[in-house]
Chains A and B, each alone.
Chain A
Amino acid sequence: AQSVAQPEDQVNVAEGNPLTVKCTYSVSGNPYLFWYVQYPNRGLQFLLKYITGDNLVKGSYGFEAEFNKSQTSFHLKKPSALVSDSALYFCAVSPPSGQNFVFGPGTRLSVLP
């Protein structure tokens, strides 16, 4: 069975500093990987996805994520954090077998001014 882990419940970073939100996964075969963001009182919003190809994926709002097959990781990164990036971030995996998404538990990012 597939699973997604986000080892940090909370990540704090100062504005202007680089940020990383970690995600590891377990799935049979080659996965499809996604990041979503949730702002207060809103639904989840798609940021980026990895299907195949280049291991570095660029997404919305300056975010990017790096797929590492050997470490089964898909960490979300941004070179310079903004206060407005403060939100809940979810990693998700969709196995190629056609089953639906499995979401991680979420990581709360706080960017401090």
Chain B
Amino acid sequence: ETGVTQTPRHLVMGMTNKKSLKCEQHLGHNAMYWYKQSAKKPLELMFVYSLEERVENNSVPSRFSPECPNSSHLFLHLHTLQPEDSALYLCASSQEAGENQPQHFGDGTRLSIL
């Protein structure tokens, strides 16, 4: 049990669909993150939230829209995705953003775009 839970674990969607990825952390952390992990590429940081405010957005296309309603929940809303968006999407949390605490990861959502 990781303390960070992601749902769904697998998602197949067409390019015109709208779906959302969900992340929940049970660790009392103040910072949450979305990462994209593609085959043979380094882990890409997408978004960082600290105390429910977005503090970093690394030039992510607008078809990805994050939402952090409270410090325990993080969503990634998906709309009009492209085949190259197929990847493993990982959520993580840490006590604070940008500090020296380790990040705790969920097991990811494997996303496939048809």
Collect the chain B residues with CB atoms within 8 Å of residue A44's CB. Answer: 43, 90, 92, 103, 105
| CB <8 Å contact, B43 and A90 | yes
Collect the chain B residues with CB atoms within 8 Å of residue A105's CB. Answer: 41-42
A100 CA to B97 CA, complexed, in Å: 7
Q: Chain A nearest CB: distance from B103 CB in Å? A: 7
- B66-114: which residues lie under 8 A (CB-CB) from chain A? 90, 92, 97-100, 102-108
| CB <8 Å contact, B107 and A32 | no
B2 CB-CB contact with A under 8 Å: yes
| CB <8 Å contact, A42 and B43 | no
Collect the chain A residues with CB atoms within 8 Å of residue B98's CB. Answer: 94, 98-100
Collect the chain B residues with CB atoms within 8 Å of residue A99's CB. Answer: 98
- B38-59: which residues lie under 8 A (CB-CB) from chain A? 41-43, 45, 48, 56
Most chain A CB inside 10 Å of its own CB: which residue of B33, B41, B103, B106: B103
Collect the chain B residues with CB atoms within 8 Å of residue A46's CB. Answer: 102-104
Most chain A CB inside 10 Å of its own CB: which residue of B100, B105, B106, B108: B100
Closest-by-CB residue of B relative to A94 is: B100
* 5 A-B pairs closest in CB distance: A43-B105, A98-B98, A46-B102, A103-B43, A32-B100
- Interface on A for B, CB 8 Å cutoff? 32, 34, 36, 41-46, 49, 51, 90, 94, 98-101, 103-106
